[in-house]
Structure 1
Amino acid sequence: MTIYKNLINGFLTKLGPGLLYAGAAVGVSHLVQSTRAGSMFGFDLLIAILIIHLIKYPFFEFGPRYTAATGKNILHGYQKLGDWAIWVYLLMTIATMFIVQAAVTVVTAGLFTHIFGLEELGGHTPQMVAAIISSLVLILCFTLLASGRYVLLDRLIKIIILVLSITSITAVVALLFDNPGHYSNGVTHFDMTDAAHLLFLAAFLGWMPAPVEISVWHSVWSESKNETEGKVTSMKEALFDFRVGFIGTAFLAMCFLTLGALVMYGSGVEFAPGGAAFAEQLLDMYKQALGDWAYPIVAIAALTTMFSTTLTLLDAFPRTISMSLELISPHRFQHRINKSIYIIWLLITIAGTLSLLFFFMPSMSDMVKVATVIAFVAAPILATLNTLAMFDKSIPEPYRPGKLMLAWCISGLTALISCSVGYLWLM
């Protein structure tokens, strides 16, 4: 037993930023979008999960690869292209961070609301309840980040992802042997000629497995780990850590799609647009698969997963913005010396998010749709910046990707640009 325990501990200690990546990725794209895809189209979009992971893989890998090659985060690679590249990233981040943070936070709030029975809180409307719970979630996140930051994130994510993975895999296996089988009630198949289906596909793939900017966050977390440990992680270790997280999120996306397909596809029941109602339906899927005993375990796993996503995003936005400002104007913004810049942007992110939630919030599903579609359209821009940074001649030759990876990047960029243009034309 001691040998197995040591092996597991040794394996987990090798994982850090890769699991932070997984903690940020496994959230709305998996619990919401993947289960919804399965409930609407069965297994039709399973292949889409595989394809989008293949298309985006190089651009996600370049984050940790750049840090392993240079010891610095990939924002320094952007700077080598010119300050314009930093400004592009900075403006895109500031323009989208409030809606992205709001979309993730309101899903987390929905889980809190349902699990703790807060639907009738103060007699307010469901939208106001969601906004109030969201504000409490963000205050808790602020407290944790202001006191712990990277070390705290690193420790939390390992436990959270492990619990969710075990419960989700167990639920899928149980359903494969005993599922409701609603197919006699009539089913809908994905139709490439149906505009509504294509619009859903864009929203589904926008955050699958995550928005491309997560590659920058991954690189920043990798740099933070190097600073904490006082050494630069080797290329072999960095890529192993990344691939475990990347492959794991792909597998979990397929698990959630399978849950939606086996429990709700053809049942005539659609997922509710509200956060609390959606959370109830999601958790009932696990209860139906595993029994009442599993409800508290799955509820904790789902809640902690979404909370970890909220936490990691809330850390990533101010951290990367403050680093970007330091690169553009190092004398004015000294991020590593003056930590108050991080706190200021943390407060700005929270204030902007709460403004959306209290004054402009539509339904949870609409907010998620807007955030994911923005990520879908913007993906080629950040993918191009990552490619240019990674193939820069300043990267040491042994660490620079080869011709095969370059061809992979060109193919992926072509696909992403074509999809973005096609979506805009369809709109």
Structure 2
Amino acid sequence: MSVEGPTGAQVAAAEPSPPKWRVIGPGLVVAATGVGAADLVATLVAGSKYGYALLWCAVLGCLMKIVLVEGAGRYSLATGRTIFEGWQSLGRWTTWYFGIYVVIWGFVYGSAAMAGTGLPLHSLLPVLDVKWWGILSGLLGLLLVWFGRYSVVEKVCAVLVGLMFVAMVGAAALTVPNLPDMAGGLVPTIPGDGGIIYVLSLAGGVGGTITLAAYGYWLREKGWVTPRHMRVMRIDNAVAYTVTGIFVVATLIVGAELLYSANVAISTGEKGLLDLGEVLEDRYGRWAGTVFLVGFWAAAMSSLIGVWNGVSLMFADFVARARHLPPDDPDGLHGGRYYRGYILWLTFPPMAMMFLGQPVGLILAYGVLGAFFMPFLAVTLLWLLNTDRTPAQWHNKLWSNVAMTLCALTFVALAANELWNQLAKLG
């Protein structure tokens, strides 16, 4: 006589509910990781160029990220599979695409992330130049994610998000925003003189990276692994991107009030944040510039730590699945050799680029592959969440399909624009 084991519903029912005061975690990490220094500059430049006219884009962009991250989390919780397992089910092309992407992206991003942390630290403490401060930041990130458990990474990111939030929202409060103009900025309009590019960049680019796909891995690290955690996942995601939305809106306010109204231009790239620090110092005192630079460093460092941890988890899963290792093989898990190998790849080879400069061909490949990752994520989520690869009760509803389709179209337009720009550089 055989004895049947408990059903999935019985197992889920037997699991304890998540603690009410510990529902915030992975969403904050993915949101903090996705908003880096380059995103802040893009938002500042948009505010300095168009005032509040593109405020609606910043809000729309955060809503789009909520949709995509919720989709990635829903797939992981509903199926018990990682997002890479889902991609694998769509064909071998996904494995080739992700494998090429994650190797090139990691090499170039490692250099950019370390430089991004080095800039504000050099301005605060000029005893070392940018590259050495960046290298020390990279090594600090390595040590944290090499030896620290996910709970440590989450707590450190929460502190850094707090510093980011205080610095940028504080800067916005100092400028005394014009509330009627802000309200007008919530009405969708597209300014002339290249406004469509800023619309696409703000709506699709801010906070949008490979780390959105890492959300499911962080859910596992947190211990949220079944459909029972679906509601808490959605709360976590919504709260995290609400915080991010406030942060991005504050950045645009600073651009609109401090730069647009005074007709002050800032540099493109991460040096634009140093320019803003100087403007704040000149207008409000040295303390304001210092607080802002600390927030700038926190934004860059949170992105570095999140990528060192989250993308390394994705890479470990990618190699383990490609080699057909069993799910519990330690090499494919947090702390395994593939996880640590990718951390080393993010840290040490990119240091050479900080000394030797960035090879043009590699940068072009990075730009093209990076632009095509977000359309890849949006389209594959639409595929996974509308087919039998996901249990029917967790399929996309109509509004989810509409929102994800909008995301996919926006990211495809951004990818086409990026591809055009990269081809123009070759010409």
2:320 to 326, 333, 337: 326
Alpha-carbon distance, 1:38 to partner:
1.7
Partner of 1:395: 390
Matched residues in 1 for 2:58 and 2:365: separation? 20
1:255 and 2:250 aligned: yes
2:16 counterpart residue number: none
Query: In the superposition, relative to structure 1, how do residues 260 and 216 fare at CA in structure 2: closer, same or farther (>3 Å)?
Result: same
Which residue of 232, 239, 243 maps to 1:244?
239
Listed as ranges, the gaps of 5+ residues in structure 1 are 1-9, 122-128, 180-188
Question: Structure 1 206/70 Cα, relative in aligned 2: closer, same or farther at 3 Å?
Answer: same
In 2, Cα distance between equivalents of 1:280 and 1:109: 11
- Find 1:37's aligned residue among 36, 46, 50: 46
Note the alpha carbon deviations across 1:341-374, whole angstroms, 9 max, x for none. Answer: 21112111223322322212499xxx99996775
Correspondence for 1:265: 260
Contact 1:103 1:368 in 2 (8 A): no
Question: Number of paired residues?
Answer: 391
Measure, in 2, the Cα distance between the counterparts of 1:203 and 1:369: 18
Looking at structure 2, the residues matched to 11 and 290 of structure 1 have their Cα atoms a distance apart, in angstroms, of 41
One-letter amino acid of the counterpart of residue 216, structure 1: A
Q: Which residue of structure 2 aligns with residue 108 of structure 1?
A: 117
* CA spacing shift, 1:34–1:280, aligned 2, 3 Å: same
Distance in structure 1 (CA, Å) of the matches to 2:117 and 2:212: 23
Quick one: which of 67, 71, 81 aligns to 1:62? 71
1:302 CA drift (Å): 2.9
Q: Please tell me whether the aligned partners of residues 78 and 85 of structure 1 are also in contact (alpha carbons under 8 angstroms).
A: yes
Cα deviations by residue, 1:93-119 (Å, 9 ceiling, x for unpaired)? 22322223322321211011101124x
Give deviations 1:298-323, integer Å, cap 9, x for gaps: 44333223211111112223221111
Query: What corresponds to 2:353 in structure 1?
Result: 356
Q: Secondary structure at the match of 1:161?
A: helix
Query: Equivalent of 1:300, from 275, 294, 305?
Result: 294
Q: Match of 2:255, as an amino acid?
A: G
Contact 2:163 2:295 in 1 (8 A): yes
Shift of 1:237: 0.2
Q: Structure 2 CA distance, aligned partners of 1:68 and 1:283?
A: 42
Q: 1:369 to 1:165 in 2, by over 3 A?
A: farther
Distance 1:214 1:93, change over 3 A: same
Q: Against the structure 1 CA distance between its residues 335 and 232, is the aligned structure 2 distance closer, same or farther, given a 3 Å change threshold?
A: farther
Q: Is the 8 A contact 1:259 1:285 kept in 2?
A: no
Instruction: After TM superposition, give the deviation of residue 220 of structure 1 in Å.
Output: 0.9
CA distance in 2, matches of 1:373, 1:190: 26
Match of 1:311 among 286, 305, 309: 305
Once the two structures are TM-superposed, the CA of residue 221 in structure 1 deviates from its matched residue by: 0.7
- 1:222 Cα deviation from its structure 2 partner: 0.8
* Cα distance in structure 1, aligned partners of 2:289 and 2:112: 25
SS of the equivalent of 2:223 reads helix
- Equivalent in 108, 121, 137 of residue 99 of structure 1: 108
CA distance in 1, matches of 2:340, 2:307: 14
Using the TM superposition, give the Cα deviation of residue 135 of structure 1 relative to its aligned residue in structure 2, in angstroms: 1.5
- The answer as to 2:406 corresponding to 1:417 is no
* Residues 109 and 137, structure 1, Cα contact 8 Å, conserved in 2: yes
1:28 aligns with 2:26: no
In structure 2, what residue type is equivalent to 1:34?
A: T
Query: 2:191, 2:199 → 1: CA distance?
Result: 10
Cα deviations by residue, 1:146-181 (Å, 9 ceiling, x for unpaired): 1104121111122221332234323322312699xx
Which of 333, 338, 342 lines up with 1:341 in the alignment?
338
2:213 is aligned with 1:216: yes
User: Is the CA contact 1:36–1:260 (under 8 Å) kept in the aligned structure 2?
Assistant: yes
Distance 1:17 1:370, change over 3 A: same
Are the structure 2 counterparts of residues 285 and 164 from structure 1 closer, same or farther at C-alpha, using a change threshold of 3 Å?
farther
Q: TM-score, normalised by structure 2?
A: 0.79
How far, CA to CA, are the matches of 1:233 and 1:248 in structure 2?
Answer: 25
Distance 1:289 1:175, change over 3 A: farther
Question: CA distance change for structure 1 residues 108 and 370 in 2, over 3 Å: closer, same or farther?
Answer: farther
Contact preservation (8 Å) 2:66, 2:238: no
C-alpha RMSD of matched pairs (Å): 3.4
In structure 2, do the counterparts of structure 1 residues 236 and 143 end up closer, same or farther at CA, with 3 Å as the change threshold? same
CA deviation map 1:125-145 (0-9, x unaligned): xxxx33222212111111111
Q: Is the 8 Å Cα contact of residues 62 and 244 (structure 2) preserved in structure 1?
A: no
Three-state SS of the structure 2 residue aligned to 1:210 is coil
Q: Quote the sequence identity (%).
A: 18
Q: Report if aligned partners of 1:175, 1:289 keep a CA contact under 8 Å in 2.
A: no
